[in-house]
């Protein structure tokens, strides 16, 4: 069940987007006429599978893709909030493919509000409903930038659950980060620019937060991200050798 804060954010989404419709026009190779017809019926439930498929579909499959995304938002976010979504991050979402921040302010603010609560609660929960990495990827795809996500992590109190999640995520991704591998981020994004931003943030903020990790080398490995690649691997080899 969603927390009271997440349920409130979801109610706001329903208040803003509930009852919206989209043209019943789309790819008849991938969807039946009956499936598409549901888009034109206000509040008609699509079901988990269909709403997930529609929400991840490429824009060219619909005559009015932004209208489809608005139509899907209440049911899709309720699906997410209930913990029934598996495999997030494997492909871009409908929100990640459109400029939703240019929508009317109440619409953009409802989306931002849901994402903010969901991300904050995920980081603050010892055993969150979804893995932190999966929530990170979906939120990053939707935002199109890391600022809103990293700001929450940076503002969290030291030594809390947020730091444990940060350490776990970094430990899982550190080799990719050291290799400048853009696949550490959701695919089909500007990986090179975002990766540089992420590496710089980790050097500034993660190093002091990882000092107490069971792996004493993790914070020192993260610090190596400040070096150019040709210097980084020399320093990495020396670090590993010194650790025995």
- pLDDT value for 89: 62
Number of residues that this document lists for the chain? 244
Out of 90, 110, 144, a domain closes at: 144
Based on the fold, state whether residues 98 and 207 are members of the same structural domain.
no
Question: What pTM was computed for the model?
Answer: 0.93
Out of 78, 112, 144, a domain closes at: 144
Average pLDDT over residues 88-95: 78
Average pLDDT over residues 46-68: 95
CA distance linking residue 38 with residue 19, whole number of Å:
12
pLDDT-derived band at 177 (thresholds 50, 70, 90) equals very high
Based on the fold, state whether residues 117 and 183 are members of the same structural domain.
no
DSSP assignment of 163-227 equals HHHHHHHHHHHHHHHHTT-GGGS-TTS-HHHHHHHHHHHIIIIIHHHTTTSSSTTHHHHHHGGGS
Average pLDDT over residues 37-62: 95
pLDDT-derived band at 242 (thresholds 50, 70, 90) equals confident
148 pLDDT higher than 70: yes
19 pLDDT higher than 80: yes
- pLDDT value for 187: 64
Average pLDDT over residues 225-235: 92
pLDDT-derived band at 188 (thresholds 50, 70, 90) equals low
Average pLDDT over residues 107-131: 96
- pLDDT value for 225: 96
Helix 191-201 crosses helix 161-178 at what angle (to 10 degrees)?
130
CA distance linking residue 226 with residue 231, whole number of Å:
10
Mean pLDDT of the chain: 92
The residue range of the domain holding 4 is 1-144
Based on the fold, state whether residues 183 and 114 are members of the same structural domain.
no
Q: Is the dihedral of CA 196, 198, 199, 200 positive or negative?
A: positive
Average pLDDT over residues 107-122: 97
Out of 144, 168, 183, a domain closes at: 144
Based on the fold, state whether residues 164 and 129 are members of the same structural domain.
no
Based on the fold, state whether residues 135 and 155 are members of the same structural domain.
no
Q: 3-class SS at 26?
A: strand
pLDDT-derived band at 144 (thresholds 50, 70, 90) equals confident
- pLDDT value for 216: 85
Average pLDDT over residues 57-74: 97
User: What proportion of the chain, given as a percentage, has pLDDT over 70?
Assistant: 97
Q: Contact 89/137 with Cβ under 8 angstroms?
A: yes
CA distance linking residue 55 with residue 182, whole number of Å:
24
- pLDDT value for 215: 86
pLDDT-derived band at 1 (thresholds 50, 70, 90) equals confident
Q: Which residues of 121-141 are buried (b: 16+ CB within 10 A; e: fewer)?
A: bbbeeeebbbbbbbbbbbbbb
Based on the fold, state whether residues 29 and 108 are members of the same structural domain.
yes
90 pLDDT higher than 70: no
């Amino acid at each position: 069940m969603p927390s009271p804060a997440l349920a409130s954010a979801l109610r706001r989404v329903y208040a803003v987007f509930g009852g919206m419709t989209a043209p019943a026009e789309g790819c008849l190779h991938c969807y039946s006429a009956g499936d598409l017809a549901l888009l034109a019926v206000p509040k008609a439930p699509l079901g988990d599978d269909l709403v997930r498929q529609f929400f991840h579909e490429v824009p060219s499959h619909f005559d009015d893709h932004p209208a489809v995304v608005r139509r899907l938002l209440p049911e899709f976010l309720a699906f997410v909030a209930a913990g029934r979504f598996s495999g997030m991050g494997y492909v871009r979402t409908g929100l990640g493919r459109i400029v939703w921040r240019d929508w009317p302010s109440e619409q953009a603010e409802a989306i931002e509000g849901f994402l903010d609560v969901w991300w904050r609660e995920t980081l603050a929960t010892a055993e969150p409903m979804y893995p932190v990495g999966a929530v990170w990827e979906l939120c990053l795809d939707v935002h199109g930038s890391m600022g809103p996500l990293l700001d929450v992590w940076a503002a969290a109190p030291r030594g809390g659950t947020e730091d444990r999640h940060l350490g776990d995520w970094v430990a899982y991704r550190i080799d990719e980060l050291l290799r400048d591998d853009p696949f550490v981020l959701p695919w089909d994004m500007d990986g090179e620019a975002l990766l540089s931003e992420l590496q710089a943030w980790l050097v500034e903020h993660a190093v002091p937060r990882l000092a107490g990790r069971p792996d004493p080398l993790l914070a020192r490995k993260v610090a190596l991200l400040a070096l150019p690649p040709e210097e980084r691997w020399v320093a990495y080899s020396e670090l590993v050798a010194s650790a025995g």
